[in-house]
Amino acid sequence: MRLGRILHPQLAHALATLGHSDILLVTDAGFPIPADANRIDLGFYPGSVDVLEILRVLRQELFFDKITMASDVPAFNPQLYRDVQGIFTGSGADFEAIAHQELIASVAPRAKVVIRSGSLNPWANFAMVASTDPAAWFKEGMTPLPEYQERSRRIKENVIPQLG
């Protein structure tokens, strides 16, 4: 047994296939997942497994450049927005908001992996762009690209992510 690691074999395998710039989509129970998606279904019954629980675990497993959510989240589900901010504080990831319909029509079909939760939390759908650990790739004496310098700063300073 892998203590402190994801036990679900298909999920562990799918996450291991992600590379820089691949999209991982975590959805609520009702999100219309494309038929041909690499779908990992964790929805067991209403509310379980919750999307926030999934995001907390993924935050410990992977690095992300960007977290995209529906633009409705801050206004219509502010607690969800605060919870997601808390999860990704110090991650270095940028937050981005787009129309919910765009998340469905344009982002979901491009996702390499889609994880469906059992969450009944409105607008609890998050597209996350996989990245790398800037500290692991850029050693002392090397000059990282400006976006990696900025991510490294946000990680070191434990910055709370905000929608721009």
C-alpha–C-alpha distance, residues 34 and 86, integer Å: 29
**Predicted local confidence at residue 99, as pLDDT:** 98
Catalytic hit among 8, 13, 20, 100: 20
What are the sequence ranges of the domains in the chain? 31-133+145-156
Instruction: Tell me the three-class secondary structure of 138-164, residue by residue.
Output: CCCCCCCCHHHHHHHHHHHCCCCCCEC
Number of CB atoms found within 10 A of residue 134's CB:
20
- Is CATH 3.60.40.10 correct for 31-133+145-156? no
C-alpha dihedral sign at 66, 121, 45, 36: negative
**Predicted local confidence at residue 144, as pLDDT:** 79
**Predicted local confidence at residue 147, as pLDDT:** 79
**Predicted local confidence at residue 135, as pLDDT:** 77
* Cβ 61 vs Cβ 157: under 8 Å: no
**Predicted local confidence at residue 74, as pLDDT:** 97
**What is the full per-residue pLDDT of the chain (164 aa) written as tens digits?**
556 689 899 999 999 999 999 999 999 999 999 999 999 999 999 999 999 999 999 999 999 999 999 999 999 999 999 999 999 999 999 999 999 999 999 999 999 999 999 999 999 999 999 998 877 777 778 887 777 888 888 999 999 999 97
| DSSP designation for 21 | T
Among this protein's residues, is 8 annotated catalytic? no
CA nearest neighbour of 127 among 105, 147, 157: 105
Has this prediction a pTM greater than 0.75?
yes
Which residues contact residue 50 at a Cβ distance below 8 angstroms, ignoring those fewer than 6 apart? 117, 118, 119, 121
C-alpha–C-alpha distance, residues 49 and 116, integer Å: 9
C-alpha–C-alpha distance, residues 123 and 57, integer Å: 19
User: Hey, what are 113's tokens?
Assistant: 């992996």
**Predicted local confidence at residue 3, as pLDDT:** 60
